[in-house]
Amino acid sequence: MKKRRCHLCGKRFKKGGLKYHLKAELISDFDGYLSLPYDEKKDYAQEIKDTVEASKGKSEKELEEEVYQKFEFLLCPDCRRRLVAFLRSGEKN
């Protein structure tokens, strides 16, 4: 049987022990702002060139990860507790 460990701290799980499966997605956000209406003073061709230039040297995977990433972890109770504390510290009241 394959030994399983916590993906964060490496602690080995005991048979039948408590562990947590974490699934998370990180998705780029769009605030709805578009620089419209058309601005004749703006150089859109240059803006497109700049965007293409900024993507050069990045792999398809890197570009995709700038928009969407999926994570899956198996966590021990201690790492779960630390993760929840971290996530809750960022919650807005």
Q: How many CA atoms lie within 13 A of 24 on its CB side?
A: 9
24 and 17 in contact (C-beta within 8 Å)?
A: no
For the window 53-92, what string marks contact with Zn ion as x by the rule CB under 5 A?
Answer: -----------------------x--x-------------
Calpha distance 6→12 (Å, rounded): 6
CB of 69 to Zn ion, least distance (A): 21
Rounded CA-CA distance 20/35 in Å is 44
Taking contact as CB under 5 A, which single stretch among the options 1-9, 12-20, 30-38, 65-73 is the one that binds Zn ion?
A: 1-9
Strands 68-75 and 20-27: antiparallel
Least distance from Zn ion to the Cβ atom of residue 11, Å:
5
Footprint on residues 18-57 left by Zn ion (CB under 5 A): none
Query: Can you give the binding site for Zn ion, defined by CB under 5 A?
Result: 6, 8-9, 11, 76, 79
